[in-house]
Amino acid sequence: MSDLVWIFVGAMLVNNFTLYYFLGLCPFFGVSGRLQVAFRLGMATTFVMVITSLSSWALTTFVLPYAPYLKLISFIVVIASTVQFVEMLIKKVSPVLFRALGIYLPLITTNCAILFLALTQTSKEYSLIQGLAFAVGAGGGFTLALVLMAGLREELELATIPAVIKGTALSMIIAGILSMAFMGFAGMFSAS
């Protein structure tokens, strides 16, 4: 049980996917303009992560022992189809959200956090349950980072900032400071 908690907290806070491993930076900088949209994209990404975790566990257990060189190709195909499914689901359930997410919804396919999740889970030989804890933790961490960033950027729109720093440069520096703050979690667990 305790290792499940460690996997979950580790993926969410200590080794936060976005701020520690630099994964999923495209949506992190692209969609973090509005708080609500950011939160929902985080949820969609978490959902894709959970499905990917399940199916990559199935792949590593049943298929990959026979064809190890297919690892990357099979993972990416699974991720692409899951994203396609989520896209259809959101389009049906909430057309407004579908429009707000725009190009970033299909781009979840090329969100490196998801492929990284599948690969790490395989290389660490997590069981099905451990993999699920890992996926939920990672998704939660990604959502947390995205929401924090969106909140900060909404506030910044009201502030006067020098023209030269506006745009990506400012986001980058905020992300640096956030990442420093997350380094504070590093002392939470001593063993990894």
Partner 1 sequence: MTPEKMYDEFTKGIWKENPVFVQVLGMCPTLAVTNSAVNAVAMGAATAFVLIGSCFLVSALRKYIPKQVRITTYIVIIATFVTIADMVLEALVPAVHKELGAFIALIVVNCIILGRQEAFAGRNPPLPAVLDAAGMSVGFFIALMCLGSTREILGSGSIFGVPLFGPSYEPWVIMVLPPGGFLVLGGILLLFNWVKQRKLARRAGASA
Angle at 44 between CA 68 and CA 152, to 5 degrees: 120
Helix axes 112-123, 35-62, angle to 10 degrees: 40
- Size (the chain), residues: 192
Q: Rank residues 39 and 116 by Cβ distance to partner 1 and give the closer one.
A: 116
Given the rule CB under 8 A, which of 31-39, 49-57, 96-104, 111-119 is the region that contacts partner 1?
111-119
**How many of the chain's residues bind partner 1 (CB under 8 A)?**
43
In 3-state terms the chain splits into helix, strand, coil percentages (rounded to 5) of 80, 0, 20
Residue 25 binds to partner 1 (criterion: CB under 8 A): yes
**Binding test (CB under 8 A) with partner 1, winner from 100, 112, 152, 156:** 112
Q: How far apart are CA 29 and CA 118, in angstroms?
A: 23
Window 117-176: residues binding partner 1 (CB under 8 A): 119-120, 123, 163-173, 175-176
| Positions that interact with partner 1 (CB under 8 A) | 19-26, 29, 69, 71-73, 76-77, 80, 107, 109-112, 115-116, 119-120, 123, 163-173, 175-177, 179-180, 183
